[in-house]
């Protein structure tokens, strides 16, 4: 018995686990690209925008499927202009877009051949907005990711039901694996018909944490179709086998302000954190609680200081436009990035851990010290990994500094500060 166990465990030690995921070279390169990009636009857009009450409206108002199906005929985004959206993304200094191909309401915002519960078959608009957006992204050099919901409040085979979507009037029956086959089919469509895709951002696993989601099969399908496509899953756990990045929702990595992040740990994969401009993901016409441009720049900078990308959300209106409160802020962030982008793009977390006063980022021999909340003129830092040869602000103005065997002192007069974020560039020997 004992020998058997030993034999088995030594065998297991030498044999790689059957399911072990080895990312392709193209995937590893894409992870570097992803980390270098640092800033993307999240778009929550679907037929729910018609009601102007967020993307959870079907669940929150207990709308049965039959009633909810009255929304697509009212969804006619005649003012949607892919070129305008992508130009806004570029003006914001963003490098990628992650858009809802399907949210929890199950509605496909693309032309699926596997269901008629999609934008082409059910709306008067009849056009595949993801195709239009994909073509424009490829034209303007922006990467496109799809947010795809595992959870489905509309599909009859999403059964047994999970924590949510229990008031949709669906019959109490369904074939779980038929649902998974359908979902894999849609994923196949998304990775086949839209050119090169940046990756898939899954969400909704948490609705049924003990279900057999057959993730290995879905992940393999994606990596077989497009090896460079990055997979992330908003399950709020350490990444599962086959995933390529780890995401955090409404918290910096390791932050625990959101209840669902209370056990969140930070793993070794590239990181991303997502946040809203007001309080809502999908369009909410009553939500006026906008974060300021300064708060949003701080979020971006703090994310970079935590080695994470920032995926900033907008919920477009049902007519296809992005409201001015969003676009203005995006353009202002872009303005800050045009002057200070060197301290964000292509950087990794810096040598000094994130602090209340700010964060550090670094690229090669340069360390960027971001002064976000420094009330004093002088900042003391621990010893850096090299001797400083130059210290300056982004406008070239020299910064006074002192180095001893205890550490580094920087003097940055209040008069020369940028109200959004003052960046001191330290060149190290
Ligand atoms: C999810 C979505 O439900 C939400 O609509 C949005 O798309 C956001 C980006 O991601 O948010 C969650 C995720 C997990 C829980 C709740 C909301 N949860 O575990 O209760």
pLDDT tens figures, 30-83: 999 999 999 999 999 999 999 999 999 999 999 999 999 999 999 999 999 999
The pLDDT of 119-139, averaged and rounded, is 98
Kindly state the percentage of the chain with pLDDT values over 70. 96
184-211 b/e (C-beta count within 10 Å ≥ 16 → b): bebbbbbbebbeebbbbbbbbbbbbeee
DSSP 3-state of 298? helix
Number of neighbours of residue 301 by Cβ within 10 angstroms: 27
Atom of ligand 1 nearest to the CA of 151: 3
Q: 250 CA to middle of ligand 1, Å?
A: 10
Give domain limits for the chain. Answer: 24-347, 358-428
Q: 204 CA to middle of ligand 1, Å?
A: 7
Q: 207 CA to middle of ligand 1, Å?
A: 10
pLDDT tens across 149-208, in order?
999 999 999 999 999 999 999 999 999 999 999 999 999 999 999 999 999 999 999 999
Pure H helices in 72-162: 82-91, 119-122, 129-140
Residue 2: band (very low, low, confident or very high) from pLDDT cuts 50, 70, 90: very low
Atom of ligand 1 nearest to the CA of 103: 7
* CA 347 – CA 360 distance, rounded (Å): 10
pLDDT tens across 265-322, in order?
999 999 999 999 999 999 999 999 999 999 999 999 999 999 999 999 999 999 999 9
| Residues in contact with ligand 1 (CB, 6 Å cut-off) | 44, 55-56, 203, 206, 234, 249, 260, 274, 281
pLDDT tens across 132-142, in order?
999 999 999 99
| DSSP characters over 3-16 | HHHHHHHHHHHHSP
Q: 57 CA to middle of ligand 1, Å?
A: 13
* Residue among 42, 203, 250 whose CB has most ligand 1 atoms within 8 A, to mutate: 203
Q: 140 CA to middle of ligand 1, Å?
A: 30
| Sheet strands side by side (includes 378-381) | 378-381, 408-411, 400-403
Question: Full-prediction pTM beyond 0.85?
Answer: yes
Beta carbons of 361 and 123 less than 8 angstroms apart: no
CATH C-level class of 358-428? mainly beta
Q: What are phi and psi of 212, to 5 degrees?
A: -85, 100
CATH number among 3.30.2350.10, 3.30.930.10, 3.20.20.80, 3.40.50.300, domain 24-347:
3.20.20.80
* pLDDT at residue 230 tops 60: yes
* Residue among 46, 232, 234 whose CB has most ligand 1 atoms within 8 A, to mutate: 234
| Sheet strands side by side (includes 230-233) | 230-233, 199-203, 143-149, 96-102, 39-43, 308-314, 271-276, 246-249
């Amino acid at each position: 018995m004992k020998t058997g166990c030993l034999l088995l465990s030594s065998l297991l030690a030498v044999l790689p686990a059957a399911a072990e995921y080895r990312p392709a070279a193209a995937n590893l390169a894409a992870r570097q690209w992803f980390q270098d990009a640092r800033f993307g636009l999240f778009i929550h857009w679907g037929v729910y925008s018609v009601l102007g009450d967020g993307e959870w409206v079907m669940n929150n108002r207990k709308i049965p499927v039959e009633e909810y199906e009255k929304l697509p005929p009212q969804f006619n985004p005649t003012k949607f202009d892919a070129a305008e959206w992508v130009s806004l993304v570029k003006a914001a200094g963003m490098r990628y877009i992650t858009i809802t191909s399907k949210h929890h309401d199950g509605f496909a915002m693309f032309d699926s051949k596997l269901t008629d519960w999609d934008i082409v078959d059910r709306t008067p608009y009849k056009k595949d907005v993801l195709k239009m957006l994909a073509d424009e992204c490829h034209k303007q050099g922006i990467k496109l990711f799809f947010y795809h919901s595992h959870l489905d409040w509309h599909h009859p085979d999403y059964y047994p039901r999970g924590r949510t979507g229990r008031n949709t009037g669906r019959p109490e029956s369904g074939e779980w694996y038929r649902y998974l086959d359908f979902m894999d089919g849609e994923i196949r469509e998304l990775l086949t018909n839209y050119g090169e895709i940046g990756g898939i951002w899954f969400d909704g696993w948490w609705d049924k944490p003990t279900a057999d989601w057959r993730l290995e099969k879905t992940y393999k399908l994606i990596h077989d179709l497009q090896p460079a496509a990055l997979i992330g899953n908003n399950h709020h756990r350490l990444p599962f086998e086959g995933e390529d990045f780890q995401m955090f929702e409404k918290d910096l990595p390791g932050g625990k302000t959101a209840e669902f992040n209370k056990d969140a740990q930070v793993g070794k994969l590239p990181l991303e954190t997502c946040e809203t401009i007001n309080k809502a993901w999908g369009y909410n016409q009553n939500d006026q609680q906008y974060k300021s441009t300064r708060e949003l720049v701080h979020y971006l900078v703090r994310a970079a200081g935590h080695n994470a990308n920032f995926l900033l959300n907008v919920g477009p209106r049902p007519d296809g436009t992005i409201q001015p409160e969003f676009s203005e802020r995006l353009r202002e962030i872009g303005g800050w990035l045009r002057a200070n982008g060197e301290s964000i793009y292509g950087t990794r977390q810096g040598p000094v851990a994130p602090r209340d006063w700010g964060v550090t980022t670094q690229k090669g021999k340069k360390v960027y010290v971001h002064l976000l909340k420094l009330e004093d003129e002088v900042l003391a830092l621990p010893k850096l990994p090299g001797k400083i040869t130059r210290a300056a602000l982004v406008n070239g103005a020299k910064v006074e500094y002192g180095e001893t065997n205890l550490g580094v002192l920087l003097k940055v007069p209040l008069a020369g500060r940028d109200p959004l974020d003052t960046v001191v560039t330290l060149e190290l020997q």
